[in-house]
């Protein structure tokens, strides 16, 4: 398995894209991972599921606009250089 840095970048972009397409009300709420279901106990140990839901929500919020730019650049580069 020979990696280059470019393949790592590709893998990261694909994973972030996968997280970004999870729709809030059509999908996440249906499986119990919605925003309203994450306010659980107010103890200091949030638990794995709540942390994961927070992570998904923050990735979607933060990476929405940069992903547009990064994906466009990636598409153009792939079209030009194969």
Partner 1 sequence: MSYNTTEGQISISFYPSVAKPRARAAPHTGDPLLFEDTSSAAPPMNNQGYYTPGYNMGGAPVGGPGDAGVNKLFADPMASAAMMYGSSLANQGKDIVNKEINRYVSVNKLKYFFAVDSKYVMKKLLLLMFPYTHQDWEVRYHRDTPLTPRHDVNAPDLYIPTMAFITYILLAGMALGIQKRFSPEVLGLCASTALVWVVIEVLVMLLCLYLLSVHSDLSIFDLFAYSGYKYVGMIFTVLGGLLFGSDGYFLALTWSSCALMFFIVRSLKMKILSSLSNDSMGAGATAKPRLRLYITVATAAFQPIIIYWLTSHLVR
Under rule CB under 8 A, residue 43 binds partner 1: yes
Give the C-alpha separation, 1 to 11, whole Å.
14
Give the shortest CB-34-to-partner 1 separation in angstroms: 19
Q: Where are the beta strands (DSSP E) in the chain?
A: none
Pick from 55, 73, 76, 77 the residue near partner 1 by CB under 8 A.
55
Q: Taking the C-alpha atoms of 73, 75, 78 and 79 in order, what is their torsion angle to the nearest 10 degrees?
A: -110
Under rule CB under 8 A, residue 79 binds partner 1: no
In the complex with partner 1, the residue whose CB is nearer, 25 or 45, is 45
Q: Which residues have a Cβ under 8 Å from the Cβ of 40 and sit 6 or more positions away?
A: 46, 47, 50
Under rule CB under 8 A, residue 61 binds partner 1: no
Question: What is the Cα 23 distance to its own chain's centre?
Answer: 11
Segment lying near partner 1 (by CB under 8 A), choices 26-34, 50-58, 59-67, 72-80: 50-58
Q: Which residues bind partner 1 (CB under 8 A)?
A: 1-5, 7-8, 43-48, 51-52, 55
């Amino acid at each position: 398995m020979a990696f280059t840095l470019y393949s790592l970048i590709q893998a990261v972009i694909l994973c972030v894209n996968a997280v970004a397409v999870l729709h809030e009300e059509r999908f996440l709420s249906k499986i119990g991972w919605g925003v309203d279901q994450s306010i659980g106990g107010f103890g200091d140990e949030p638990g794995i599921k709540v942390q994961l839901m927070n992570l998904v929500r923050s990735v979607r919020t933060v990476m929405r606009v940069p992903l547009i730019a990064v994906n466009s650049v990636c598409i153009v580069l792939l079209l030009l250089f194969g």
